[in-house]
Structure 1
């Protein structure tokens, strides 16, 4: 078992508005030991960021870069802490997304869970597919740029480690 959220899974909401967290994600959350599921609106995407202690630690690391009296700290803390929710995970591994979270992500009858290593995102499936295509296009552009740059080769006779 890995300790990173990877892959993506699409699940439907049930009649009560609950959705099952993928089993592999639940296993990572259980290993992490966080009570519930920490969720906040993604800052610049129509998605939700979710996770446990690893996500909380990343947020704390980001906030530690700023003075707690700075505007930047205040804005980040408001977005990442003040507008967050801790969702209860039921014994079957389901969560219920609040109306505010569903509205932000444009979630209707299904969600796509997307692993991002230390956290995962929750998307509307169609919005995720569009985001994935944009990401692939941008990565092809990055690959072309990197591929056109010469490799850094040390001069002849220079020792390398």
Structure 2
């Protein structure tokens, strides 16, 4: 598998170290960045975004779509690359989470790793449970809207066929 998938919760030890899930380390290794990972404060959540070379290339692609020297490009560069910390994975599969990153995500004694395909996020477990509940609720509403929309368009199509 070459995507970050699933959810794992691990404890942070007294030295601020936490084990990266083995399946996530395997994705990082296949991604060409087995010795560590890129990690930065999420732009829209009290969490950390993390990943390997594929994440860095995705950020490069976002920046490439913006005009050189534009305010938008500069702001996105500062918000993403300016806050990136390259975290080394030790021989036991652990990283040390710096205090600045821990503070942004409100991390305490444990963290939840959440696979998001090309990247993963690191959350405080209680905050993530709330986020997961919100996401599931929104998905249910969206599915109902799509289902209602497809019924309406089918009904319209059927009505037109009967006339």
* TM value normalised by structure 2: 0.91
The answer on 1:33 being equivalent to 2:47 is no
Residues in 2 aligned to 1:96 and 1:85: alpha-carbon distance in whole angstroms: 11
Residues in 2 aligned to 1:86 and 1:69: alpha-carbon distance in whole angstroms: 25
**Long gaps (5+) in structure 2:** 159-163
1:66-92 residue CA offsets vs partner (Å, 9 max, x unmatched): 012100000000011011100011010
Q: Aligned with 1:45: secondary structure?
A: coil
Structure with bigger helix share is 2
Where do residues 118-137 of structure 1 align in structure 2 (5 Å cutoff)? 118-137=118-137
**1:63 positional shift:** 0.6
Do 2:16 and 2:98's aligned partners in 1 also have CA atoms closer than 8 Å? Answer: no
Q: Aligned with 1:117: secondary structure?
A: coil
The answer on 1:3 being equivalent to 2:2 is yes
Where do residues 89-100 of structure 1 align in structure 2 (5 Å cutoff)? 89-100=89-100
**Long gaps (5+) in structure 1:** 157-161
Residues in 2 aligned to 1:150 and 1:138: alpha-carbon distance in whole angstroms: 18
Give the match for residue 11 of structure 2. 12
The answer on 1:24 being equivalent to 2:23 is yes
Q: Aligned with 2:3: secondary structure?
A: coil
Give the match for residue 61 of structure 1. 61
Do 2:4 and 2:120's aligned partners in 1 also have CA atoms closer than 8 Å? Answer: yes
* TM value normalised by structure 1: 0.92
Q: Aligned with 1:150: secondary structure?
A: helix
Do 2:50 and 2:119's aligned partners in 1 also have CA atoms closer than 8 Å? Answer: yes
**Residue correspondences, number:** 154
Q: Aligned with 2:150: secondary structure?
A: coil
Give the match for residue 142 of structure 2. 142
